[in-house]
């Protein structure tokens, strides 16, 4: 039976789906996915909002998985989409498709409770934990283990302290496998069995690339077949950079050392052992590590460029990694002497963690990774936190080596992959190293000319002059917020501009009766979104994470205001290095990089407004460059066709 028949009116699937509509765009995408699987080619597909792209790829990959008897991976960026697929789409299809199939949600092993480590932690709680709150959390986990379904964090309705969960989770390097006395009851092993038995495996991009990185030296986390789907593919580059890069914080080093032994409180894994040499070595590192990170912080605050990019190795003498490596070796030797195999395994797990830290810090200080960018982040507070960061400048080669050459058919799908009305995928393909692939672009079934209108403010000052630009943004934003009685996102590209505008508007908006939400305050992002949806006429001031992956259907969101075109910040280390590379080969960094990046992000911001066929609203662009610069037309051409009105000052 042709799969397209399932999406026709009158089909059993259509009859079971409330409010089913025939969508030619969805059928076109489904046919493209089928073609890619049949021809063993990769596919890059842009599907506008409302196409129903998850069904368009789920139907063909489910049938393929059943017929080929092999798993298919589906990877997403946001938890929202992951939950939609696992808790809504797949259960519906499992019930209504003519083929029987199985599916599961893949999670990293650190999400699962280890029963062996839990028993060990309970037995040693007096030496492991110093606070009553930690002991209380441990007791609650002990009680929860009896009623949990899968032993994962998502099955908990509260959040245990990191210091407790890290002592009881199924972390890598701390597993006894079949030697564990709890092997038959093991939650992680049960999850692996589900993975092996499932035909559709849903993961997030973070886990997908963790698996890809792990496969360089060891067995992967989940089984791989010949087909994979990377949904929300516009976020792939960032995910790959994060997992093939380095990120080490001063807190991580301190935390791992304290887990081993805290001399001040006489707590930790080694506190119950009489091993003065190891204790002395750890005590020494408790001084060496802060000194090292203090030197890095001093360099970052006094000698580094504004963006704290580290262009040359050894900004601080590295006396730390050698001592960490010595501690690792000492822990391995000590574990060999231990008669208790469970404690020995715990010690080896800590040794592996220490060794990884040593390797990452050494690599950062020596800048040993080719084609990578290195920088330092400083988080000031009561206890300043220093983070060493590195990321590959270009992920194209990594994607080719670890993804496209390993999986014959990769489906990359998103609502924002092309730049310009001509529908070119060139920019995204070059970024991701996708040389040979089928290309399909399908528009949205929504009636944008009726549902949406774009307003562009002309005569705005230069956005680079924040002192002048911020008051003008505030002045011109207020009438648009009054027009829709709030119910608006005001999106920014920098925290500084957002805070200035919020300061200028907060009082008046509050007096008008509009609840105001500001990103970066005490309220977490997911809570801000919940409050916005539930509170009429709210105004939300947001930065990067509210431009994408946010779904607010209905009257709660009727206005999206773009304060400034979302060009990448040229001072950000990765952006700066990308610009330098393009200039070094004589290219135009603006037209080859900055402009297409900004176009893609504007499409994401625009896409927050119309989420269903009944939504209506306006998008207001306050940046006059859209109509006053020659390149501005690219932004408007990239948006769905709808009325555009230029507003004179």
For the residues 177-201, what does the mean pLDDT come to? Answer: 91
Residue 144's pLDDT band (boundaries 50, 70, 90)? Answer: very high
What is the radius of gyration, based on Cα positions, of the chain?
A: 27
pLDDT for 520 equals 87
Q: Which CATH number does 448-647 carry?
A: 3.40.50.300
The CA distance from 593 to 579, in Å, is 8
pLDDT computed for residue 590 by the predictor: 96
| CATH number at 7-102+198-240+395-442 | 3.40.50.300
Section 56-84 average pLDDT: 94
Q: Residue range 177-186: average pLDDT? A: 89
Where does the pLDDT of residue 263 fall: very low under 50, low under 70, confident under 90, or very high at 90 and above? confident
Tens digits of per-residue pLDDT, 537-585?
Answer: 999 999 988 999 889 999 999 999 999 999 999 999 999 999 999 999 9
Query: Which pLDDT does position 483 carry in this prediction?
Result: 96
Given this model, what pLDDT does residue 423 score? 77
- pLDDT category of residue 404 using cuts at 50, 70 and 90: very high
pLDDT value, residue 538 = 96
Q: Over range 130-138, report the average pLDDT.
A: 88
**Collapsed DSSP state (helix, strand, coil) of residue 56:** helix
pLDDT of residue 521: 81
pLDDT of residue 360 exceeding 90, the answer is: yes
User: Is pLDDT at 316 greater than 80 in this prediction?
Assistant: no
> Do 549 and 499 form a contact (C-beta atoms < 8 A)?
no
Q: In sequence order, what are the residues at sequence separation of 6 or more whose Cβ sits closer than 8 angstroms to the Cβ of residue 449?
A: 641, 642, 643
Q: State residue 456's pLDDT score.
A: 97
For the segment 255-259, the average pLDDT, to the nearest whole number, is 90
**pLDDT higher than threshold 80 for residue 498:** yes
Percent of the chain with pLDDT over 90: 73
The answer to whether residue 216 scores a pLDDT higher than 80 is: no
Contacting residues for 645 by C-beta, under 8 A, at least 6 apart: 453, 454, 455, 456
Q: Confidence class of residue 178 from pLDDT cuts 50, 70 and 90?
A: confident
Gap between the Cα atoms of 320 and 313, Å rounded = 15
Q: How many angstroms separate the Cα of 147 from the Cα of each of 136, 155, 160, 185?
A: 18, 10, 17, 13
Whether the predicted pLDDT of 273 surpasses 90: no
Query: Going by DSSP bridges, is the β-strand pair 539-542/559-562 parallel, antiparallel, or unpaired?
Result: unpaired
Instruction: Grade residue 355 by pLDDT with cuts at 50, 70 and 90.
Output: very high
| Closest listed residue to residue 307, CA positions, set 397, 217, 213, 373 | 373
pTM recorded for the entire structure: 0.91
- Rounded CA separation 454/519 (Å): 25
Q: How confident is the model at residue 173 (pLDDT cuts 50, 70, 90)?
A: confident
Q: Which helix (H) or strand (E) holds 284?
A: helix 276-302
* CA quadruple 537, 540, 545, 547: dihedral sign: positive
Q: Which of 21-25, 374-378, 496-500, 538-542 has the lowest mean pLDDT?
A: 21-25
Separation between Cα atoms, residue 125 and residue 259, nearest integer Å: 12
Look at residue 220 and tell me whether its pLDDT is greater than 90: no
- Span 324-345, mean pLDDT? 91
Is the pLDDT score of 219 beyond 80?
no
CA distance 128 to 269: 6
In angstroms, the Cα distances linking 386 to 241, 380, 491, 551 are: 20, 9, 29, 34
Would the pLDDT of 421 be above 80?
no
> Is the pLDDT reported for residue 254 higher than 80?
yes
Q: What percent of the chain has pLDDT over 70?
A: 99
Pairing of strands 617-621, 559-562: parallel
The rounded mean pLDDT for the chain is 92
Confirm if 160 and 141 have CB atoms less than 8 A apart: yes
Q: Is the pLDDT of residue 130 over 80?
A: no
Is the pLDDT reported for residue 380 higher than 90? no
- The per-residue pLDDT for 298 is 92
Q: What is the pLDDT of residue 202?
A: 96
């Amino acid at each position: 039976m042709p799969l397209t028949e399932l999406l026709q009116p009158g089909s059993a699937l259509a009859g079971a789906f409330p409010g089913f509509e025939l969508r030619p765009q969805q059928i076109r995408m489904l046919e493209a996915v089928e073609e890619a699987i049949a021809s063993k080619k990769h596919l890059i597909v842009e599907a506008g909002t409302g196409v129903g792209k998850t069904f368009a790829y789920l139907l063909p990959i489910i049938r393929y998985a059943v017929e080929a008897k092999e798993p298919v991976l589906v990877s997403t960026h946001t938890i929202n989409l992951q939950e939609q697929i696992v808790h809504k789409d797949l259960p519906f299809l499992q019930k209504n498709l003519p083929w029987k199939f199985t599916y599961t949600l893949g999670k990293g092993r650190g999400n699962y409770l280890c029963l062996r480590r839990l028993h060990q932690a309970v037995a040693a709680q007096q030496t492991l934990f110093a606070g009553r709150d930690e002991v209380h959390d441990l007791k609650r986990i002990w009680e929860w283990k009896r009623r949990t379904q899968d032993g994962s964090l998502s099955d908990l309705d509260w959040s245990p302290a990191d210091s407790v969960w890290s002592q009881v989770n199924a972390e890598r390097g701390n597993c006894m496998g079949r030697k564990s006395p709890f092997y038959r009851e093991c939650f992680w092993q049960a999850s692996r069995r589900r993975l092996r038995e499932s035909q559709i495996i849903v993961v997030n991009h973070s886990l997908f690339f963790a698996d890809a990185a792990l496969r360089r030296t060891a067995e992967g986390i989940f089984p791989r077949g010949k087909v994979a789907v990377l949904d929300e593919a516009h976020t792939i580059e960032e995910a790959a950079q994060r997992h093939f890069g380095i990120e080490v914080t001063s807190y991580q080093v301190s935390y791992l050392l304290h887990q081993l032994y805290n001399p001040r409180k006489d707590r930790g894994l080694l506190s119950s052992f009489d091993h003065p040499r190891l204790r002395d070595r750890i005590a020494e590192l408790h001084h060496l590590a802060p000194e090292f990170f203090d030197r890095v912080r001093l360099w970052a605050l006094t000698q580094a460029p504004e963006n704290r990019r580290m262009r040359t190795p050894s900004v601080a003498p590295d006396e730390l990694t050698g001592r960490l490596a010595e501690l690792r070796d000492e822990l391995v030797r000590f574990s060999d002497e231990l008669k208790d195999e469970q404690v020995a395994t715990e010690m080896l797990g800590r040794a592996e963690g220490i060794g990884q830290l040593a390797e990452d810090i050494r690599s950062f200080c020596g800048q040993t990774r080719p084609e990578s960018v290195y920088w330092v982040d400083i988080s000031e507070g009561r206890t300043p936190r220093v983070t060493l960061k590195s990321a590959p400048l270009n992920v194209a080669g990594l994607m080719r080596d670890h993804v496209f050459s390993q999986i014959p058919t990769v489906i990359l799908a998103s609502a924002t992959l092309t730049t310009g009305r001509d529908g070119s995928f060139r920019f995204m393909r070059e970024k991701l190293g996708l040389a040979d692939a089928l290309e399909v672009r399908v528009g949205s079934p929504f009636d944008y000319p009726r549902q949406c209108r774009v307003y562009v403010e002309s005569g705005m000052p230069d956005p680079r002059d924040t002192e002048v630009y911020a008051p003008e943004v505030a002045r011109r934003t207020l009438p648009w917020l009054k027009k829709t009685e709030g119910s608006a996102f005001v999106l920014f590209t920098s925290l500084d501009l957002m805070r200035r505008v919020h300061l200028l508007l907060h009082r008046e908006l509050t007096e008008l009766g509009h609840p105001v939400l500001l990103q970066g305050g005490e309220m977490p992002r997911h809570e801000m979104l919940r409050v916005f949806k539930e509170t009429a006429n709210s105004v939300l001031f947001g930065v990067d994470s509210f431009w994408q992956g946010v779904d607010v259907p209905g009257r709660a969101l009727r206005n999206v205001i773009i304060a400034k075109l979302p060009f990448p910040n040229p001072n950000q280390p990765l952006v700066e290095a990308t610009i330098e590379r393009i200039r070094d080969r004589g290219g135009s960094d603006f037209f080859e990089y900055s402009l297409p990046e900004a176009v893609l992000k504007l499409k994401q911001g625009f896409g927050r407004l119309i989420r269903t066929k009944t939504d209506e609203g306006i998008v207001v662009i306050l940046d006059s460059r859209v109509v006053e610069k020659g390149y501005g037309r690219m932004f408007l051409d990239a948006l769905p066709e709808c009325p555009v009105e230029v507003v004179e000052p």
